[in-house]
Amino acid sequence: MIKALLRYICGTLTVRVKGGGCERFLNLVYGSKIKIWNLRRVDETTMTFCIRCGDFRKLRFAVVRSHVKIHIIKKHGLTQRTRNYRRRYGLFIGCGIIFAAIYMSSFFIWSIDVAGCEQISVQEVLTRLSENGFKTGCLKSSFVAKEVENNFLKNNPKVSWISINVKGTTAYVELREKKDKPELIDANEPCSIYAARDGVIASVSAYMGYGVVEKGDTVAAGDLVVTGNYTDKYGVEYKLHSYAKVMAYTTRSKSVTVPLKRTQHVKTGGVKNKYSLKIIRFNIPLYFGKKILYNKYDVTRSERSLSLSKSFKLPVSLCKTTYTEVEDQAVSLTEQQALNEAYEQLRDYEYSLAGIAVTNREYTEQKNKDSVTVKLVLDCFEDIGIPQKIE
């Protein structure tokens, strides 16, 4: 493998030797330790072999002494390929322009990779960064990463941390979003606790404040369960910051209706692709007069940037737009399939009730003419107390 690569780089020749002194010629060549290979005899006075370009001139003494004629049949290798283009100056000028353009593009940012977005969209992050002068096509020297990060955090309260790292022509942006926390009431502010849902009180553990309900009482959403208002035996009124755990038995319900007949898009197999070349912000279409004759179709777009490495991307990308033909078809479900879909949605609903203990569940099925309805009733055990400020 290595020998073949070296021979390709240095160049090789296929040589033909003709004459009555071929054997003497070979003896002189081997005696001089000149390397030849692929030796083949064509007839009694003719043979061919391969030799490196640099060793061909060393054969002159052997040709003279053996009285044979030597002729180059074919030239191989990189040197021969480049030799064919030695007078094509436009090619070398074009290569020089390309290398200069690649070198100049290394001073710009052509790709921004954003990671860590959950609630905030990537496009929103890119828009906020561009307001600070950080966008695709900008010079690396035109911004200071720390200043962009600080300005971004000042104007975006949803983000708690952001970092910008530039490698090659790609900028890697990592951010961390702030987690939504429930509104907390300052411990110095007086408040009472009210019921968040209808239920039957199981227990009231008032660590601060005074309970106004007892075990077994039925409460409705918004009823007062622990008060922060207190009047002592002398008639002096106080307002406290109530803190309590109010456990109650509650009931939650959810109904899901699934139709037995529906219309959905079905792919017919017809696909049309349109390509375009994007250079910086200019699109050059690579198609001519291709009309989409589909009545209904889905459109998907993809863009592939040309790059020299993972972090060195060029301001050139190939865009592909795919048109997939679809048609509306009526789909019928059996009652069992509709029931399975309804139960799956109800399971997802139950999984969303994090931190709530379910003591019992009851399903009720109702089969209609064109649909199926499943109702879920959950018996729960949960903390229903929510604090509210005392005005």
CATH of the domain at 166: 3.10.20.310
Cα–Cα distances (Å) from 358 to 354, 374, 384, in that order, read 10, 18, 14
- Would you say residue 290 lies in a domain? yes
Question: How far apart (Å, rounded) are the C-alpha atoms in residues 191 and 104?
Answer: 65
Question: Of 83, 115, 139, which one is at a domain's C-terminal end?
Answer: 83
Question: Of 161, 181, 201, which one is at a domain's C-terminal end?
Answer: 181
Residues 299 and 312 in one domain: yes
- Would you say residue 208 lies in a domain? yes
Q: Are 374 and 255 in contact (CB under 8 A)?
A: yes
Question: How far apart (Å, rounded) are the C-alpha atoms in residues 374 and 343?
Answer: 7
Residues 359 and 338 in one domain: yes
Q: Which H/E stretch holds residue 240?
A: none
Q: What angle do CA 145, 146, 152 make, to 5 degrees?
A: 90
Residues 15 and 70 in one domain: yes
Question: How far apart (Å, rounded) are the C-alpha atoms in residues 254 and 11?
Answer: 80
What's residue 243's pLDDT? 86
- Would you say residue 385 lies in a domain? no
- Would you say residue 38 lies in a domain? yes
Domain that holds residue 205: 191-249
Q: Are 168 and 311 in contact (CB under 8 A)?
A: yes
Residues 94 and 155 in one domain: yes
Residues 274 and 239 in one domain: no
Residues 290 and 308 in one domain: yes
Residues 55 and 76 in one domain: yes
Q: Are 263 and 328 in contact (CB under 8 A)?
A: yes
- Would you say residue 386 lies in a domain? no
Mean pLDDT by 10 residues, the chain (391 residues): 76 89 88 88 90 87 89 84 73 84 88 87 89 89 89 87 90 84 66 92 89 92 90 80 91 93 85 88 80 85 86 88 89 91 92 88 92 94 90 74
Concatenated DSSP letters for 140-200?
GGG--HHHHHHHHHHH-TTEEEEEEEEETTEEEEEEEEPPP-PPPPPTTS-EEEEESS-EE
What's residue 1's pLDDT? 64
pTM value is 0.51
Residue type, 282: F
- Would you say residue 388 lies in a domain? no
What 3-state class would DSSP assign to 35? coil
- Would you say residue 186 lies in a domain? no
Question: Rounded to a whole number, what is the largest CA-CA distance in the chain?
Answer: 139
What values do phi and psi take at 360, rounded to 5?
-160, 150
- Would you say residue 108 lies in a domain? yes
Domain count, the chain: 5
Under DSSP, the state recorded for 67 is: T
With tokens 């949803």, the residue in question is 158
Residues 316 and 369 in one domain: no
What 3-state class would DSSP assign to 295? coil
